[in-house]
C-alpha cells in the first residue's frame, strides 16, 4: 500500500468516526444537563456497544479495545459540549470518570479472553 492509499484509508476512518460522533450527538438532548457520569453505567454502556463506532465493524483481535477508545472519545466530547458552561474542575472530574470507565471496560474485555 502506498502513501496515497494509506492516506485515503486514514481519511475514510476519520470520516466514519466523525459520522459516529454526529449520529450519537444528535441522539443527545443538548439542553439537558446532569451531574457526573456514573462509572458502572459507563462501563456497562461501553461493553454493550454504545455508542456505535467504526471499530465495532472491524474484524481484528484489537478492534474491541480500539472501539472502547473511540466510544470514550465520543462520550467525552458530547459530555463537554453539553456541560460547556460548567467549571473546569467539574469537567476534569467527569473526564477522569470516562477514562476510568474505558480502562475498566478494556480490562474486562481482556480478562474475557477476547483480545491478546
pLDDT at residue 25, rounded to an integer: 86
Q: What is the pTM of this model?
A: 0.83
pLDDT at residue 57, rounded to an integer: 92
In a domain, 48, yes or no: yes
Number of folded domains that form the chain: 1
In a domain, 94, yes or no: yes
Alpha-carbon distance of 72 to 27, in angstroms, equals 16
Q: What is the dihedral of CA 51, 55, 58, 63, to 10 degrees?
A: -110
Q: What percent of the chain has pLDDT over 70?
A: 86
Alpha-carbon distance of 22 to 50, in angstroms, equals 14
Q: How far is CA 93 from the centre of its chain?
A: 17
* Residue range(s) defining the domain that contains residue 61: 3-111
In a domain, 46, yes or no: yes
Cell numbers for 61, please give them.
483481535
Amino acid at each position: 500500500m502506498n502513501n496515497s492509499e494509506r492516506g485515503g484509508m486514514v481519511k475514510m476512518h476519520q470520516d466514519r468516526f466523525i459520522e459516529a460522533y454526529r449520529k450519537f450527538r444528535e441522539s443527545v438532548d443538548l439542553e439537558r444537563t446532569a451531574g457526573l457520569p456514573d462509572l458502572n453505567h459507563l462501563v456497562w454502556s461501553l461493553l454493550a456497544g454504545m455508542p456505535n463506532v467504526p471499530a465495532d465493524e472491524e474484524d481484528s483481535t484489537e478492534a474491541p479495545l480500539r472501539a472502547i477508545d473511540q466510544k470514550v472519545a465520543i462520550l467525552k466530547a458530547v459530555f463537554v459540549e453539553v456541560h460547556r458552561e460548567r467549571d473546569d474542575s467539574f469537567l476534569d472530574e467527569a473526564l477522569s470518570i470516562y477514562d476510568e470507565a474505558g480502562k475498566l471496560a478494556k480490562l474486562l474485555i481482556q480478562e474475557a479472553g477476547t483480545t491478546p
